[in-house]
């Protein structure tokens, strides 16, 4: 049985702030089992301690998950410390070491492995929620990184307070506050050297872009950007909800895909047209810009017939009558054929 922690005392204002966030965003239900992802850094160390202090008030059961990516010389030592401290506190700990991650897109592959492991453990122990230590700073960094790559509303919303079973109780807490919390309570944490490696895009955004913003406009700028992220998230959900209701009324089955009526599409704002086309295409990355090209063609009064390759073997045939999304297209993604 995990030791019950007091709500009051050092760090209590942060605990209260997290409790408000959890309740406002309905991250958990009473009686939930929560798997807490603990890397050993100050954010996740703070997260576990705060949730332990809130576990009685919110009626939660906690377990700990840790992934040793093997990317630092002392990663095995960190994994051992996380597991032993979790066990001493009365939490069931689940630890794994990744296979060799050498190669391109290191961070993406490490992230995918980590999420897969946490999902597997959560299912095994009956945890309905997986809590990660993402902070307000992480949310802002994600939005700025996606802005650099031209993301749309969904991407610019950044990290959401909750995303399916994943919850982010520290999403309204700054990174400086989590470190201060750990120091006030004497909680040991690990400073990952990768957090200072400018070879990683996120680190560049943090140390070069965000630092320039805060140097010029102060720390309040981060909170202002985070408020924009939240508003974008709300707008994104609203547009997505409208598109979800429209799609069944407008889409019909075609031989190898889906068909939408052009006159109905052109009556809608471009943002809704995009969402309907994305819905028809599915969860693929349209690196070729095919959807944007279709949207441009729909703004042509004559809607001259044309075919546009999207991605993943998907083609869109556009005419003045219909837009047909063909999921059986075999041409090279990125090609554009115009009759």
Residue 147 forms part of a structural domain: yes
The reply to whether 186 and 64 lie within a common domain is yes
CATH number at residue 327: 3.30.465.60
Confirm whether 132 is domain-assigned. Answer: yes
Q: How far apart are the C-alpha atoms of 68 and 80, rounded to whole Å?
A: 9
* pLDDT value of position 339: 45
> For residues 192 and 240, is the Cβ–Cβ distance under 8 A?
no
Same domain assignment for residues 196 and 263: no
**Token representation of residue 200:** 């990683």
Residue range(s) defining the domain that contains residue 312: 254-337
Q: How many domains does the chain have?
A: 2
What does the alpha-carbon distance between residue 85 and residue 55 come to, in Å, rounded to a whole number?
18
Which pLDDT score, from 0 to 100, does residue 283 have? Answer: 66
Low-confidence ranges of the chain (pLDDT < 70): 1-8, 102-103, 283-285, 287-288, 329-339
| 3 within a domain of the structure (yes/no) | no
Alpha-carbon gap, residue 130 to 117, rounded angstroms: 11
249 inside domain: no
Query: What pLDDT is stored for residue 70 in this prediction?
Result: 76
pLDDT for position 1: 41
Cα-based distances in Å from 204 to 121, 123, 135, 167 = 32, 35, 17, 26
* 246 in a structural domain: no
pLDDT at 152: 87
Q: Percent of the chain, pLDDT > 90?
A: 66
Those residues whose C-beta lies under 8 Å from the C-beta of residue 77, and which sit 6 or more positions away, are: none
Q: 129 with 63, same domain?
A: yes
Assess if residue 40 is contained within a domain: yes
Residues 94, 184 within the same domain:
yes
Give the tokens for residue 311: 């991605």
Within-domain flag for 2: no
């Amino acid at each position: 049985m995990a030791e019950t922690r007091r709500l009051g005392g050092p760090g209590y204002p942060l605990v209260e702030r997290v409790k408000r966030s959890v309740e406002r965003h309905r991250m958990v239900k009473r009686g939930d089992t929560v798997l807490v992802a603990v890397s050993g850094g100050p954010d996740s160390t703070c997260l576990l301690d705060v949730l332990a202090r809130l576990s009685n008030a919110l009626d939660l059961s906690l377990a700990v998950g840790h992934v040793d990516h093997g990317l630092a010389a002392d990663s095995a030592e960190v994994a051992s410390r996380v597991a032993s401290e979790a066990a001493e506190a009365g939490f069931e700990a689940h630890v794994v070491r990744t296979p060799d991650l050498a190669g391109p897109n290191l961070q993406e592959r490490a992230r995918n492995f980590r999420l897969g492991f946490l999902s597997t453990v959560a299912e095994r122990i009956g945890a309905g929620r997986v809590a990660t230590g993402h902070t307000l700073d992480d949310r802002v960094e994600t939005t700025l990184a996606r802005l650099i790559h031209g993301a749309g509303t969904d991407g610019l919303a950044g990290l959401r307070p909750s995303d399916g079973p994943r919850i982010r109780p520290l999403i309204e807490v700054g990174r400086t506050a989590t470190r201060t919390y750990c120091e006030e309570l004497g909680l040991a944490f690990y400073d990952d050297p990768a957090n200072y490696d400018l070879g990683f895009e996120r680190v560049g955004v943090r140390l070069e872009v965000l630092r320039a913003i805060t140097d010029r406009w102060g720390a309040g700028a981060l909170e202002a950007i985070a408020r924009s992220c939240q508003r974008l998230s709300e707008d994104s959900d609203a547009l997505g909800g409208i598109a979800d209701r429209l799609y069944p009324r407008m889409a019909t089955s075609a031989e190898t895909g889906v068909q939408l009526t052009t006159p109905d599409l052109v009556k809608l704002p471009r943002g809704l047209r995009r969402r309907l086309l994305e819905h028809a295409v599915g969860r693929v990355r349209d690196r070729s810009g095919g959807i944007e090209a279709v949207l441009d063609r729909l703004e042509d009064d004559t809607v001259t017939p044309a075919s546009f390759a999207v991605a993943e073997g998907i083609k869109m045939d556009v005419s003045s009558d219909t837009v047909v999304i063909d999921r059986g297209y075999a041409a090279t993604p990125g090609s554009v054929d115009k009759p």
